[in-house]
Chain A
């Protein structure tokens, strides 16, 4: 890497790969908060379950990634879904079983599971 142009090239290539551009037409990004607090609360099995389920269902154009602290430690493990043209959906207090359900309902059938989302956490 020698110039700002090289940097820009990586940027554009990666933005496409990450499924995160706001104006993209398709491609889903799923992230699981894997900072110390998330891991302590059980984020690792959640991440594994999501990855397994996505590959088991042979889903194309779905990126599953770890990320840092999302902030609401109380509600860890946290998992977020970025779908094109929509606000990201934040799922809280996840476990492997719930994560698998989210893949089936939200990712495949476009039906977010409201009861697991952050807005419902305290109801």
Chain B
């Protein structure tokens, strides 16, 4: 049996005589014979196709290309280009296809991307993260080469200083100052660490960088190591990110194979090696001293600073720690220059920031915008606003250490200092949009619940103080709170802020303080009126039947699991609030929407 490689189907259009298609078939036969393909390609005549009704259609399989053929020369081209060389002849593809694609919107014109500027995420979504060659194709490792062959460690630090890059993991400490501090320590063993323990609930920027562009972090860590005089680095990453861990390990192995990690990098006497350390699920390990204790294999508890890690860090030697996003900016700064980087953003916050946009917003996703972009631009233009016609209530930024930004401040530019001045903080970049359906006291409780759970227990203000705060919030949300409770909350919060040992403890009261600052009326409604304005706190809900809408059909009473509803048929029914367990079944069952909760 002959094995046929390709099939050519010749279909006569409706208004073409069959002789036309005969001619084309003959032409194919001749051309194929000339090319020596007569046994590899079979030419078949088919019934008319309704796809290109206006002309003669030739379909070539297995590719499935639809050609519109009008003259014998077209056949020649199809045979020579497609059947011999395997190239589809674009020119001859069916007419209606030619312009069909022209009105497809390119990504750059989609609102979501218009205001974005990608530096840290430059390669994410473009290159194959498991292929070092593709990273190199986009100028990867060029910055490391430049640094090692053309710059002194001092010049690297100077360049970083000029760029104005600040830490992207939380407090926004200038990166170059850390490096300089560590570089000035006496020669000897030093370490470079990367914080990839992205613990903020709702944040996944670092994960995305590591999954999409792991080499950028490796390259940056090597640059940092050269700047401070280190030969060993550690990446501390959450075990909850298996894909990121796998890609990072592949990337490290490839870099070693290429000699971009190891001994004598770029033919110089610079050596650098890198190891991955897995976290084990402890939020506090995102704090720098706790992270280092965890790498050492112990309980990840923080210790007082000073001494700062740049002087006495991992295993007691000078260590620098930066987070993933911070590192991802470094190669770009070296390649494109500090001036370029410093030209982006605001006076005191340079460059861009990546946010994980989530919650009640249309376009959840990962966005990178220049510093100084307003919250309104992020929420309304990039994020596409709030779904289901609901109203914006607040945005929670910075996770359990951050605060919320209410509607009246939605025009705040997002940079380190503006955020601090309104009682929020940049944090690592979680940005959760909250609409009118959420109760701010409940949100504060959610975050406090998180910190109580994650408090390592080493210092009393955090261990005991946050627990007491949570208890007060639980009282308030269950309707047992008093006005004095609100004052107590404030006192406790200030006390914890000023006396906790580490950054986690010191910032733990922020979600409470910031909701109190902007939504004190909601707290007051809970304690004074015993009412939850958003209708979230179950204990404060009251189900009522509207006298006007109720038709007395009895459906609610039949469905009530505790028989709290009573009434006479065809007359308005009533709910006994003392029996009602607020399960909400009646609300769903009422055919007249007569039952509401308040």
List chain A positions with a Cβ less than 8 A from chain B.
1-4, 7, 10-11, 13-15, 17-18, 20, 26, 31, 33-37, 39, 56-61, 65-74, 80, 86-90, 104, 106, 108-112, 114, 117-119
Distance between Cα atoms of A39 and B137 in the complex (Å) = 25
- Check if A108 sits within 8 Å of B124, measured CB to CB: no
Given A2-B267, A68-B125; A10-B136 close (CB under 8 Å): yes
Q: Are B212 and A110 in contact (CB under 8 A)?
A: no
Q: Which of B84-92, B477-485, B577-585 is found at the contact surface with chain A?
A: B84-92
Instruction: Report whether A36 and B207 are in contact in the complex, using a CB–CB cutoff of 8 Å.
Output: yes
What is the number of residues of chain B that contact chain A, defined by CB distance less than 8 Å? 68
Given A72-B365, A74-B363, 18 other A-B residues pairs in contact with their CB atoms under 8 A: A2-B266, A3-B145, A7-B136, A14-B137, A15-B137, A20-B126, A35-B243, A39-B243, A57-B62, A71-B124, A72-B363, A74-B365, A80-B125, A87-B108, A108-B65, A110-B88, A110-B90, A110-B101
User: Are A67 and B212 interface neighbours, CB within 8 A?
Assistant: yes
B63 touches A11 (CB 8 A): no
Tell whether A31 pairs with B125 under 8 Å between CB atoms, given A7-B145, A36-B211, A112-B104.
Answer: yes
A99→B202 CA distance, assembly (Å): 30
| Given A36-B207, A119-B105, A69 contacting B63 (CB threshold 8 A) | no
Residue among B98, B104, B145, B366 with most chain A CB within 10 A:
B104
Contact status A114-B136, CB under 8 Å? no
Given contacts A35-B212, A70-B124, contact A58 B63 (CB under 8 A): yes
Choose the segment among B127-135, B370-378, B544-552, B565-573 that binds chain A (4+ C-beta atoms closer than 8 Å): B127-135
How does the 8 Å CB contact mask read for B79-107 relative to A, with 1 for contact and 0 for none?
A: 00000001110100110111011011111
Q: Mark B232-247, 1 if CB is under 8 A from A, else 0.
A: 0000000001011000
- Please give, as numbers and ranges, the residues of chain B lying within 8 Å of A68 by CB-CB distance: 123-125, 127, 129, 208-209, 211-213
Contact A18 B125 (CB under 8 A): no
Classify the interface of chain A: helix, strand, loop or mixed. mixed
In the complex, A69 Cα to B357 Cα: how many Å?
Answer: 14
Q: How far is the CA of A119 from the CA of B108 in the complex (A)?
A: 11
* CA of A110 to CA of B395, assembled, Å: 43
Q: Does B362 count as interface, using CB distance less than 8 angstroms?
A: yes
A106→B208 CA distance, assembly (Å)? 29
Q: Do the beta carbons of A2 and B212 come within 8 Å of each other?
A: no
Chain A residue nearest to B135 in the complex (CB) = A14
CA distance A73 to B426 in the complex (A): 22
Given the known interface contacts A36-B207, A72-B112, the answer about A67 and B127 at a Cβ–Cβ threshold of 8 Å is yes
Contact assessment for B266 and A3 in the assembled complex, using a CB-CB cutoff below 8 Å? yes
Interfacial residues of chain B within 228-280, with CB under 8 A of chain A in the complex? 241, 243-244, 258-260, 266-267
> Would B211 and A35 count as touching, CB distance under 8 A?
yes
- Alpha-carbon separation in the docked complex, A18 to B149 (Å): 28
Q: Which residues of A contact B113 (CB under 8 A)?
A: 71
Across-interface contacts of A74 in B (CB, < 8 A): 362-365
Q: List 14 A-B contacts (CB under 8 A).
A: A10-B136, A11-B137, A11-B139, A14-B134, A14-B136, A57-B63, A66-B128, A67-B124, A71-B113, A72-B363, A74-B364, A110-B88, A114-B104, A119-B109
Contacts of B259 in A (CB 8 A): 1-2
Q: Which chain B residues border A112 with CB–CB below 8 Å?
A: 100-101, 104
Q: How far is the CA of A4 from the CA of B98 in the complex (A)?
A: 43
Most buried by B among A14, A88, A119: A14
Instruction: Report how many A-B pairs have Cβ atoms within 8 Å.
Output: 176
A59-B87 contact given A36-B243, A111-B97, A118-B110, CB 8 Å threshold: no
Residue from the list A3, A36, A60, A106 in contact with B87, Cβ < 8 A:
A60
Question: What are the residues of chain B within 8 A of A15 when measuring CB–CB?
Answer: 137
Asked if B226 is at the interface (CB within 8 A of a chain A CB), the reply is: no
Interface check B64, CB cutoff 8 A: yes
Instruction: A119 to B267: give the CA distance in the assembly, Å.
Output: 49
Inter-subunit contact A73/B100 (CB<8 Å):
no
Which residues of B313-365 are within 8 A (CB) of A? 362-365
Distance in angstroms between the alpha carbons of A42 and B367 in the assembled complex: 22
Closest to B5 in A: A58
Decide: B258 and A59 in contact? CB cutoff 8 A: no
B475 CB-CB contact with A under 8 Å: no
Determine if A4 and B367 form an interchain contact, defined as CB atoms under 8 angstroms apart: no
Inter-chain contact B136/A11, CB cutoff 8 Å: yes
Among B66, B136, B145, B367, chain A packs the most CB atoms within 10 A around the CB of B136
B128 touches A10 (CB 8 A): no
User: Do residues B126 and A4 form an inter-chain contact, with CB atoms below 8 A?
Assistant: no
Q: Are B366 and A71 in contact (CB under 8 A)?
A: yes
Within the complex, the shortest CB–CB distance from A48 to chain B, in Å, comes to 15
B100 touches A114 (CB 8 A): yes
Say how far A20's CB is from chain B's closest CB, in angstroms. 8
How far, in whole Å, are A98 and B260 apart by their CA atoms in the complex? Answer: 41
Instruction: Select which of B66, B125, B258, B266 is within 8 A of A69 by beta carbon.
Output: B125
The 5 A-B residue pairs with the shortest CB-CB distance in the complex, in nearest-first order: A68-B212, A119-B105, A87-B106, A70-B125, A111-B97
CB of B104 within 8 A of CB of A89, answer: yes
Say whether B365 contacts A71, CB under 8 Å.
Answer: yes
A71 to B369, CA, bound (A): 12
Cα A58 to Cα B83 with chains together (Å): 11
Q: How far is the CA of A42 from the CA of B113 in the complex (A)?
A: 23
Q: Which residue of B lies closest to A38 (CB)?
A: B211
B137 contact from A3, A10, A69, A73, Cβ within 8 A: A10
B63 touches A59 (CB 8 A): yes
A35, B244: Cα distance in complex, Å: 8
Residues of B within 8 A of A117 (CB): 104-105
Closest-CB distance, A110 to chain B (whole angstroms): 5
Give the contacting residue for A119; candidates B104, B126, B139; CB below 8 A.
B104
Q: With A4-B142, A108-B63 as given contacts, are A67 and B126 in contact (CB-CB < 8 Å)? A: yes
Q: Contact: A114 with B103, CB < 8 Å?
A: yes
State whether A111 touches B142 (Cβ < 8 A).
no
B134 and A109 form a contact (CB under 8 A): no
Decide: A1 and B127 in contact? CB cutoff 8 A.
Answer: no
Cα of A69 to Cα of B550 in the assembled complex, Å: 51
User: Contacts of B366 on A, CB cut-off 8 Å?
Assistant: 69, 71, 73
Residues of A within 8 A of B141 (CB): 7
Which B residues lie within 8 Å of A14 (CB)? Answer: 133-134, 136-137
Contact at A110–B93, with CB atoms within 8 Å?
Answer: yes
B492-515 residues at the A interface, CB under 8 angstroms: none
Give bound CA distance, A85 to B301, whole Å: 56
Tell me whether B476 is interfacial, beta carbon within 8 Å. Answer: no
Give the chain B neighbours of A26 by CB distance below 8 A.
87
Tell whether B598 is near chain A: CB-to-CB under 8 Å.
Answer: no
Residue pair B145, A35 in contact (C-beta under 8 Å): no
